[in-house]
Amino acid sequence: MDKIKTAIIGSGNIGTDLMIKILRLSTRLEISVLVGIDPNSDGLARAKRMEVKTTHEGIDGLIKMPEWSDIKIIFDATSAKAHHFNWERIKNFSDKKVIDLTPAAIGPYLVPPVNYSDNTDLPNVNMVTCGGQATIPIVAAVNRIAKVHYGEIVASIASKSAGPGTRANIDEFTETTAEAIEKVGGAERGKAIIVLNPAEPPLVMRDTVFTLSENGDKDAIRKSIHDMVQEVKKYVPGYDLHQEVQFDDIPETNPVFIEGLGYRHGLKTTTFLKVKGAGHYLPEYAGNLDIMTSAAMAVGEKMAQNI
């Protein structure tokens, strides 16, 4: 089976890890070019050692390369601002599909086990955020059993795994993730919080997901969450429950106030997650970056199958 040729824009931690994942693991994707803007970046140097073509002239440099004509899927692992610039260059080429790993959200949000089938043939899809990829499947798992009124996620990541791009996109992270909790997870209202944990040694990614839903069968909700965890583990082996799912009844006589929704009662479900990285390029504690690259590659594989 011929592999589909791809390019990665962004030679930082995420782009380099994604390149290594594709080289080692992908059965349908072939990495043709790694694109950067710093000729001295470690990512470009590593790509050259692995016999991957490179350019340090950004998207314009990629378009000028002879490999450009054969590339069908482009991963953008830059920043929200840079993706807007890159997309302006790419959108005129109808044979290219873009998988956006930034919070730019030009295309629709995509979380593989939740809504891939709704976005199979679009030119630009957005991978939300690391926190979104980790937690939105859980919100959706609850929502398919009992309608979720409110979903709140807290993503705690090691400070050392938050590079310049992540830190520059903190505002976009909270806004994009909260919106995707609603649009993909199915919650009426969403909220996202990110914590950069400076602990030494660095801790693996931890995520807490709170949902307030209509009253539903707790066993069915628990099973739905466990089933969803297994779906995510298919492409992120280090994704798992940190402890068992917890439930609290919020009675109609003592409702909670939710900004934008008013007073609501029902069932509160709390899910604790941990995400350990695969250690391909990044340390194992950098599960926040690993889940983004793993999810993006999973989407690329499915796109390649359709092409």
Residue ranges, comma separated, of all CATH 3.30.360.10 domains in the chain are 130-283
- Are 107 and 298 in contact by the 8 Å Cβ rule? The answer is no
Report the SS3 class of residue 281: coil
The least confident of 33-42, 57-66, 103-112, 167-176 is 167-176
User: Pick from 148, 151, 157: which is nearest to 129 by CA?
Assistant: 157
pLDDT tens profile 101-110: 998 889 999 9
Is 130 annotated as catalytic?
A: yes
Q: What CATH fold (topology level) applies to the domain 130-283? A: Dihydrodipicolinate Reductase; domain 2 (3.30.360)
The whole-angstrom separation of Cα 267 and Cα 178 is 20
Residue ranges, comma separated, of all CATH 3.40.50.720 domains in the chain are 4-128+290-306
Res. 231: pLDDT tops 80: yes
**What pLDDT does 169 receive?**
77
Domain 4-128+290-306 class, CATH top level: alpha beta
Res. 166: pLDDT tops 80: no
Among all chains, which residue has been given the structure tokens 């690329």? 300
Active-site entry in 130, 142, 180, 192: 130
**What pLDDT does 86 receive?**
98
The whole-angstrom separation of Cα 10 and Cα 25 is 20
The whole-angstrom separation of Cα 100 and Cα 108 is 10
**What pLDDT does 278 receive?**
92
The whole-angstrom separation of Cα 265 and Cα 94 is 48
Question: Stretch 84-110: mean pLDDT, rounded?
Answer: 95
Report the SS3 class of residue 273: strand
